[in-house]
Amino acid sequence: MEKRIVIVGAGYSGILTAKKLAKKFKKLKKNNEVNITIIDKNPFHTMLTELHEVAASRVDEDSIKISLKKVFAGRKVDVKLDTVTGIDFKSKKVMGANASYEYDILALGAGSKPTFYGVPGAEEYSFKLWSYEDAVILKDHIHNIFRKAACEPNTEERRKLLTFYVVGAGFTGVEMIGELAEYVPILCEKYDINKNDVSLYDVDGLSRPIPNLPEKLSGKVAKRLDKMGVRLIMNATVCSVGRDYIELKKDDKILHNTAGTVIWAAGIQSCDITQEAGKTLELTRGGRIQIDSYLRSGKDESVYIIGDNMFYIPEGEECPVPQMVENCEQCADTAAHNIVCAVTGQGAMEVYKPSFHGVMVSIGGRYGVAHVGFPNHMFSLPSFLAMFSKHFINIIYFIQVLGWNKIFSYMKHEFFTVRNCRSFVGGHFSNRTPSFLLVPLRLWLGAVWIYEGAMKIVEGWFKSAKLTDFFGGANDWYNSILNIATSTPGGDTPSVSTAANAAGAVTSAAADAVTSASTAAGAAADAVGKVLIHFDFLRIFKIIFVCGTDLASSTISDFAFKLDIPAMNWFINTFILPHAAVQTAMQIFIVVSEILVGLALLGGLFTAPAAAFSLVLNFMFVTTTGLYLNTFWMIFAGLAVLIGSGRTFGLDYYVMPGLKKLWKRIPFVRKLYIYND
């Protein structure tokens, strides 16, 4: 009989639990015996930790959404778009607005919502930041406020419009006010507004921001916010919020302050469906449900509580697990394991033993603080490493959810298309150069590759083996400068002039990326030569950089570089050079590759793989014959045209969109996440 597993909520814990269950049952070859259903009101998973970036327009709003269809493509998980209205635990049925769903095992991970602590007007007149919709609404509001203020002639009214209060100095509040503070100067310049007309406040009843951090790091947060123009109002509680004001109680005094925008980030509680379920199960503070060490409800062992909805104090701890992403990730693994044990009746259930690795907060896109490590050994990170760790942690999560495809998308919007240089790496990686300027470079690189291939055909590369003299001449030239004696096939040690003659046997144009090093011999063999770098790294590879003549009279075409790899030399000497037929086949491969790469670059068709193969060819040449410095431009050109250059005045503009659509329809492509957003 088929077992039915229903997961309510596609948040951090829900989405990972569903994926892990599908993977585990597939390994057990019980796919046809289990039905996994995940229910969410949205067709996408939201990166809640990145909402502030969208609200302050640092990244595009679509960057924080992950399509559930893409996540579960090729996996035996049934995605249902529905709003859960109730759960009947006696009949084991989840009721939704569109349908009802029977279950044998239920995993409840419906997430959280803001809590307003009964403050009058807070819910009606403040902006929230706990969903994708909240972030988009707030982003539009901020822009509209600045547009309106720019046209407001009355100074006092303009300053009131541009007064922002964030309630809450925890992670969400600090990240939101920090992001806004970083964005304000950009908006002021855009709308021609005096920055002094903008006021930013962060209010909290606690004594310091981010109390989860050590006091020293909280001090750094406060100092950074002050530097960005944010006024922290600590030890103050919100009494009420109105359409254009906020009332605070501080030092037993009620302060009535005008406010154009109030953003509520003061706390969370479990969502309505969880609190309703808790009436039957066991509800605790914050609307969370009490569970046992196996993540099951103490009132119903067929119900597992995951993520923010769980109230659990691990053995040896005093506080319940925090409502944070790392807890969602770790509990998903334990929940999936225990559910499999419950369904199959095999294996031992695992006690949930979370091990948290610290916290990190970003204050805008350029600055962050982090207190990370292991439970018994935590340490602080400097700002750059703190921001790096944030992005690294996000990437680890994306690997679990949507693989390398999402990582590419994330890196694109966080590093390579950064708006207004708002990244901890600055704007140095942002793509601000128009792509059409790369077209001449792409065409020239393609033309050179075609020329090189054509010249080799003329020299007879299709007819007879030439690689022995080709490689040998280049090696002898380097060795003559390095003063290393090498043996000829007959056992004699060649002189410098002998090496030159060997190299001269395969001369071609100086621009030939393949023969550049060997070509130098005929012209430079009688010169003194100079070794600039000869570095041997543990006999794994050698870096050789030489000049073929005396430095005083040298030009860039006299300098040659080679990466000598013994493993590569052994392969060539063992499998290629002893066999004339293999040499000829290798030569044909090189010539055909050069011509095909050249044609692809000229036409702008499959530009990325063509540029990548261009780099591969250059690497082959660097490790066999070496390259003159005056041909190194081909390596840099290959890097420059590697991504997207074929979409401008190239066939990729027409071909790639159609191929992309076909590619995304292939089942294994979707399953392995090797399509591109």
Helix axes 467-482, 580-603, angle to 10 degrees: 90
**Within 13 Å, how many C-alpha atoms sit on residue 371's CB side?**
16
Q: What is the dihedral of CA 14, 17, 20, 24, to 10 degrees?
A: -130
pLDDT band at 432 (very low <50, low <70, confident <90, very high): low
Q: What digits encode the pLDDT tens for the residues 528-584?
A: 588 999 999 988 999 999 998 888 888 999 999 999 999 999 999 999 999 999 999
Q: For residue 135, is pLDDT > 50?
A: yes
Alpha-helical runs (H) found in 28-82: 51-55, 68-71
Indicate whether 646 pLDDT > 70. Answer: yes
**What pLDDT sits at residue 485?**
35
CATH code of the domain made up of 3-113+270-355: 3.50.50.100
Distance of CA 103 to the CA centre of its chain: 36
Residue (of 75, 356, 26, 60) closest to 212 by Cα position: 356
Residues of the chain with CATH 3.50.50.100: 3-113+270-355, 122-266
pLDDT score, position 455: 95
375 forms beta bridges with none
> What pLDDT is stored for residue 524 in this prediction?
37
Residue written as tokens 């419009």? 161
Region at 382 (left for phi over 0; alpha for psi -120 to 50; beta for the rest): beta
Strands 627-628 and 559-564: antiparallel
Distance in angstroms (rounded) separating the CA atoms of residues 381 and 392: 14
Cα–Cα dist 544/527, whole Å: 18
Q: Quote the crossing angle between the two packed helices 580-603 and 439-458, to the nearest 10°.
A: 150
The first and second tokens of residue 527, run together, are 């010169």
State the Cα–Cα distance between residues 241 and 247, nearest whole angstrom: 6
Distance CA 362, CA 390 (A): 8
Instruction: Quote the percentage of the chain above a pLDDT of 70.
Output: 92
- 504: CB partners within 8 A, 6+ apart: 473, 521, 522
| 73 contact partners, CB below 8 Å, separation of at least 6 | 667, 670, 671
CA distance 335 to 21: 9
What tokens does 656 get?
């790639």
Q: Distance between CA atoms of 407 and 399, rounded to whole angstroms? A: 7
| Position 399 confidence tier, pLDDT thresholds 50, 70, 90 | confident
Inter-residue contact 18 to 72 (CB < 8 Å): yes
Extract the tokens encoding 464. Answer: 């007879």
Question: How does pLDDT run across 38-62, given as a tens digit for each residue?
Answer: 999 999 999 999 999 999 999 889 8
Say whether domain 122-266 belongs to CATH 3.50.50.100.
yes
Which pLDDT score is estimated for 677? 56
CB neighbour list of residue 290: distance below 8 Å, 6 or more residues apart: 281, 282, 283, 284, 297, 298, 311, 312
Model confidence at 521: pLDDT above 70: no
Decide if pLDDT at 500 tops 80. Answer: no
Q: How far is residue 331 CA from its own chain's centroid? A: 23
348-356: list long-range contacts, CB under 8 Å, 24+ apart: 349/294, 350/294, 351/293, 351/294, 351/315, 352/293, 352/294, 352/295, 352/312, 352/314, 353/314, 353/315, 354/314, 354/321, 354/326, 354/327, 354/330, 355/330, 356/322, 356/324, 356/326, 356/327
Q: What are phi and psi of 421, to 5 degrees?
A: 60, 30
CA 229 – CA 473 distance, rounded (Å): 67
DSSP state, residue 569: H
φ/ψ bin of 157: left (φ > 0), alpha (ψ from -120 to 50), beta (otherwise): alpha
Is the confidence at residue 486, as pLDDT, over 90?
Answer: no
pLDDT for res 514: 37
Q: What is the pLDDT of the chain when averaged over all its residues?
A: 89
Which residues face 199 on adjacent strands?
Answer: 163
- 3 state SS of 448: helix
pLDDT of residue 374: 86
Bridge partners of 101? 94
Q: Where are the alpha helices (DSSP H) in 207-324?
A: 215-227, 272-278
Decide: residue 155, CB within 10 A, 0-12 exposed, 13-18 middle, 19+ buried.
exposed
> Which pLDDT value is given to residue 545?
95
What's the CA gap between 352 and 360, in Å, rounded? 23
Which strands, in side-by-side order, build the sheet including 559-564?
Answer: 530-537, 541-547, 559-564, 627-628
Q: What is the C-alpha to C-alpha distance for residues 162 and 148, in angstroms, rounded to an integer?
A: 10
